[in-house]
Structure 1
Amino acid sequence: MHPEPFDLHQTASEGHGDPTASLPPAETVRPDDGPTYDVAVIGGGTAGLSAAVALSRFRRSVVVIDDGTPRNAPAGHIHNLLSRDGVSPEELYRLGRDEVDGFGGEFVRGTVDAVRGELGAFTLDVADERLTAGRVIVATGGWDELPQLPGLAERWGKDVIHCGFCHGYEVRDQRVGVLATSPMAAHQAMMFRLLSPHVTLLAHTTAPSSEQHEDLARRGIAVASGTVTEVLSESDHLSGVVLEDGTRIELDALVVAPVVHARADFLAPLGLQPTEFAVDGHTMATQIETGPSGSTDVPGVRIAGNASEPMGQVVNAAASGLAAASAMVGEFVLAGASAQ
């Protein structure tokens, strides 16, 4: 028996920013009842909703399990998404849930603690309850491990940013600082130099090489030596940083490089574990290794979005969700499935 569907429009109006605030809890399902759903999609962000739309349009029974904590929730707007530039994450997900609902997909609020089983008979533990499904798409994304500096986390997603494609145009011509915590910092600074003539590389924990120093100087990018000790804000706007010697550098935006961790611990019972993605020995992210269309070593389990592509943008996540769903439709064909 399926969990009772919820009213999507009531959720949008009463959720106060939480895109799944009114979702019902998971309902207990006995494993010997057989698969309750053809596909369980874990994660209700861009990748998960894209997968759910495609599968629902092929008349597969789909449930989306989501805990309401999308990675991009701190951001006010989404960019580089054709025809939807500037849309808020909350609005994009509301529109996506409407589409899934319109094609018969269902939603459950909760966090998946573990996935067990095999192709055709997976069980998903959601708090103290259990759901079953024949196949699983994991679209839980990642979480950002930010540099530990006073005042930084409070501005994350506002004027502490990480991606030139996601936020660069919005800080054009402003005073931009790039916090060097990885070997990619000099490259980041050069990227933002395309957007503003006022870029400073804050050496912090990763000083540029002599060759990078010369390249930065040729582009008019200043380099500030010394460790940053604090991020400053005034009137709800970032105003600068303080170095260890007390020097204050005035800024309008600060670019950081968080370590992106895949949200995938619940896959451990299946033997799927995140692996590190490193550059010159520096961990940039953790991710689930996948093959074509998000395939894994576990038949019936595919990964979409930032859990397998930590640097991907929203449009990449949408494409990967569709790719995973398309591959599963092919599997249903080969398995002899028909209209329901």
Structure 2
Amino acid sequence: MKRYDVVVIGGGAAGLSGALALVRARRSVLVVDNGTPRNAAAGHVHNYLTRDGVPPAELYALGRDEVTGYGGEVVIDTVTRVRRPDGLFVVELAGREAVEARRLLVTTGVVDQLPEVDGLAERFGRDVLHCPYCHGWEVRDQAIGVLATGPMAGHQTLLFRQWSADVTLFLNDVLEPTEEQWEEFAARGISVVQGKVEAVEVTADKLSGVRLEGGRVIPRQALVVQTKLEARADFLADLGIKPTEREAMGAVFGQAVDSDPIGATAVPGVWVAGNVTDPMTQVMNSAAAGLTAATVINADLIGEETRLAVEAYRAVATTSVV
């Protein structure tokens, strides 16, 4: 098997940023990406300094070119399993031979699980949205709906009110606002609609409304929804790494891999960065986390190499004395 200093699993902002730092540190690096980024459906990446508005595919293509320009390798493939029979990690791939790695940087992100509302998934990333900082400017002053899927819906509603004066909260039979929230919605001019949401309406390839059970349609141009976020980490099970639940406002909103602030997991030699460990983080934060983890990985490798060099040096010195 071909051996690398570091195998980076996931080729989004976190993975490519980490890989770039590592190849510039003269490390042998392989990036494995399955070609299905979380934001593939989105037209643009925002809040990424000097690259605001760049399409996700273009950003990642630029990142791959930078990594390979310094001698790194990037392959489009899927990691099916990672095991550690001895001191090295064995990374098994779906479409080619397995490779060995001294260290792993996992940046595979999350999958958005959408509520079962007819037509919702087809519009996700276009006019069905989840993040005001990612999409708020693009839907400013439009008729925005917020679909309640849990207790965070009230918070989302108040956030999107910053971008539009025409905001409607659909309680969807899952949210009962508190007295304080009712007062906040009234004070901010936010409409609240009772009843379960059945489907989204589309006209001329644009979202045009939200249909309730019974057939009533509320005209809307954009719909906000809180997805359930599930970490892509099944391939780490043999190492004993499994995602744990994350909560906000008393409700589970997804799963992620536990790590310390610099991305180290409980398994020595395995680091994580980006949405796989911090589901709420944005693209630029993910890139920064990948860079942070990469510098720590390089320092860890230097520590190992120095220890081995000292052992070899002592062995030679002892032999010379004898």
- TM-score, normalising length from structure 1? 0.87
* Alpha-carbon distance between aligned partners in 1 of 2:190 and 2:85, rounded to the nearest angstrom: 54
Which of 291, 298, 313 lines up with 2:282 in the alignment?
313
The one of 281, 284, 299 aligned to 1:330: 299
Q: Distance in 1 between matches of 2:68 and 2:3?
A: 17
The one of 80, 96, 109 aligned to 1:141: 109
Between the aligned partners of 1:120 and 1:331, the Cα distance in structure 2 is: 14
1:283 deviates by 1.6
Structure 2 runs not aligned, ≥5 long = 308-322
Choose 145-154 or 207-216, whichever is displaced more. 207-216
Q: CA deviation at 1:325?
A: 0.1
The structure that has the greater radius of gyration is: 2
- Separation in structure 1 between the aligned mates of residue 132 and residue 176 of structure 2, nearest angstrom: 21
Gap change, CA 1:257 and 1:102, over 3 Å in 2: same
| 8 Å CA contact retained: 2:152, 2:249 | no
**How far, CA to CA, are the matches of 1:103 and 1:118 in structure 2?**
31
Please list every run of 5 or more consecutive structure 1 residues that lacks an aligned counterpart in the other structure.
1-28, 30-34
**Match status 1:304 vs 2:273:** yes
Aligned 8 A contact 1:79 1:86 in 2:
yes
What do residues 12-71 of structure 1 show as CA deviations (whole Å, max 9, x unaligned)? xxxxxxxxxxxxxxxxx2xxxxx6100000001110000000000000000001110000
The superposition leaves residues 77-102 of structure 1 with CA deviations (integer Å, 9 ceiling, x where unpaired) of 00000111100000000100010011
| Mapping 1:176-325, distance limit 5 Å | 176-204=144-172, 205-325=174-294
Q: What residue number does 1:11 align with?
A: none
Q: Does 1:61 align with 2:28?
A: yes
- Quote the offset at 1:336 in angstroms: 2.8
SS of the residue 1:68 aligns to: coil
Measure how far apart 1:245 and its partner are: 3.0
**Residue number among 103, 106, 111 corresponding to 2:70 in the alignment:** 103
Residues 230 and 242 of structure 1 are in contact (CA less than 8 Å); yes or no, is this contact kept in structure 2? Answer: yes
2:235 partner amino acid: F
CA 1:139–1:119: 2 relative to 1, 3 Å? farther
Instruction: Give CA deviations for 1:265-299 in whole Å, capped at 9, x if unaligned.
Output: 11110001000012344221100010131001111
User: Partners of 1:296 and 1:74 in 2: how far apart?
Assistant: 30
Aligned CA-pair RMSD: 1.4
1:154 aligns with 2:122: yes
Q: Percent of aligned positions with the same letter in both sequences? A: 53
Decide which of 64, 84, 92 is 2:59's aligned counterpart: 92
CA contact (8 A) 2:246 2:255 kept: yes
Runs of 4+, deviation exceeding 6 Å = none
Query: In 1, Cα distance between the equivalents of 2:306 and 2:58?
Result: 35
Shift of 1:337: 5.7
Find out whether 1:46 has 2:18 as its counterpart: no
Letter in 2 for 1:170: E
Q: What is the distance in 2 between the residues matched to 1:52 and 1:64? A: 7
The separation in 1 between residues aligned to 2:49 and 2:249, in whole angstroms, is 34
CA separation of 1:74 and 1:68: change in aligned 2, threshold 3 A: same
User: Counterpart of 2:84 in 1: which secondary structure?
Assistant: strand
User: TM-score scaled to structure 2, two decimals?
Assistant: 0.92
116-125 vs 252-261, which moves further: 116-125
Q: How many residues in Structure 1 have an aligned counterpart in Structure 2?
A: 305
1:183-204 deviation digits (Å, cap 9, x = unpaired): 1111111111111000000101
Distance 2:82 2:120 in 1: 35
